[in-house]
Every structure is written in C-alpha cells, then in structure tokens.
Chain A
Amino acid sequence: MINKKGAEKIISVYWFVILIIVAGGIYAMVSTFYGHPYDVRDLEATILMNNVADCISKQGHLEEFVFDEEETNFLEKCNITFATEDFSNWKERGQYYLEINFYDVGEINLKTILEGEKSLKKDCDLNKNKSFELLPTCVNGRFYSLDNNKQIFIDILSVVRKTEKNVKI
C-alpha cells in the first residue's frame, strides 16, 4: 500500500516533467517560426522596378524628361524616395540602388541613370542564386518603349539591402 503511494508520487512528478518538456517544445516551435522575419526584399525591389518603369514609360512612349539633359533629379521626378528608418546604421549606408540603362537597336548605350548606394551592385553578381541571404536582393528587368518613334530598350536593375529586418541574423 505504501509502495503504491510512492509510485503514484513518482508518476505525478513524471507528468510534470513531461508537461514542461511539451510546453517547452511548443514554445521553441512557435518562437522559431514567428521569430523569423518575412523576406520581402524581392517584392520591394520588384515594386521599385515597376514604379520606375511606370514613371518613364506610358502607353508605349518614353516620357520626355528621360532624355532631358536639364532634368537631373530623377527620383524626385518619379516620386521615389530612398529614405529609410534609422535602424542598424541604415542612415549611414543607403539601402537601395537603382540603375537604368537605355539602349538603341544597335545596343548602344544612350543614357544611364544611377541612383542610391552604388556599392550594393557588386553584391548582385555574388548572390546570383540567392544563396547568400545576408547579401542584398537584386531584381533585373527589361522592356521596350518608343521615344519619338525611335525604338528604345530599357534595362532596370533594382537592389534592396535591408538585411537586418528581412533575415534572421
């Protein structure tokens, strides 16, 4: 009888141990899953690229300001701002880079627009297969448009860094 009571006590302690293990496991699972941020850089870079495309070409025609020598503030013209929140020294180093190349039929470069942090571009080639998630995300897109009935080919490279908020470090 005494023996039975002792065994019951041991089992109740055991149950508490199991309860703690299961609760700890569930906590670990939830915190692992929800502690990992969503990587939206691909989406952000694509939106940036689309906004640029929408700004420079409308209904198949290039906007006049594109080849206007006097027009120097491209970002302002397209209502794009590269300002970021003051997080993890983001203010010191830009988090965006934009490169737009305009070519003619002979693939001769007519104009290049460079905006943002230029040092981000070199990371694009290193991260070709997106195997290094700590490196910036790059999106490249091409399209065709007309400038006074002249065929123009546009190549846009959009780069977003913001690693600290998109990747678990």
Chain B
Amino acid sequence: MLRSKKAEIGEAMTWIVATLVIIVVMTIFIFASGKLASLKSLGVDSGDPDVKLGELLPVKTEQALFLDNSNEKWIKEWIKGAKEYE
C-alpha cells in the first residue's frame, strides 16, 4: 500500500515538473515571437539585392560630377551632412 502510494507520488511529481517545463518553454517562445515581431520591417537594403534604393542619389551625384567635378571634395562632404534618422 505504502509502496504504491510512493510510486503514485513519484509519477505525479514527474507530470507536475513536465507541465512546468512545458509552460516555461511556451512562455519563452511567446516572448521570443513578440520580440521577433517587433523587428519586422522592410528597409531600404532588404529585398531584391539588384534593386538598391539607397544608391540612386549617389548615382545622380556621380553623373553631375562627371560633367563638372570642381569642388568635388566639398560636395562629397556636404552630401555626407544629410541628416540620419536611423
């Protein structure tokens, strides 16, 4: 009778611990998916690597520099002065 009781307690403890492990793992996964969701964003550099949206303005500048490159250093410094909102 006592042995049977001990075995039952042992089995119940195993299930309780297993339940706790499952709950903890699920909670971690839910938090992780929330964190990943907040990172969802389509930026300028994402997507098709052949389409580089951030490269159009430098190309425009290069085209004009090809025609008139006086003050080139100053122009490049001025362009670098654009505000970064990142």
Residues of A within 8 A of B (CB): 3, 7, 11, 14, 17-18, 21-22, 25, 28-30, 32-40, 42-43, 46-47, 49-50, 53-54, 57, 59-61, 105, 107, 124, 127-130, 137-146, 149, 151, 153, 155, 157, 168
Contact = CB atoms under 8 A, between A and B. Distances in A.
Contacts, number: 134
Contact of A46 (B4, B22, B54, B82): B54
B78 A60 contact: no
Interface residues of B, number: 45
Interface of B: 4, 8, 11, 15, 19, 22-23, 26-27, 29-30, 33-34, 36-38, 40-44, 53-54, 56-58, 60-61, 63-68, 70-71, 75, 78-79, 81-86
A40 B33 CA distance: 20
A71 to B, nearest CB: 20
B83 A140 contact: yes
Contacts of A50: 53, 56-57
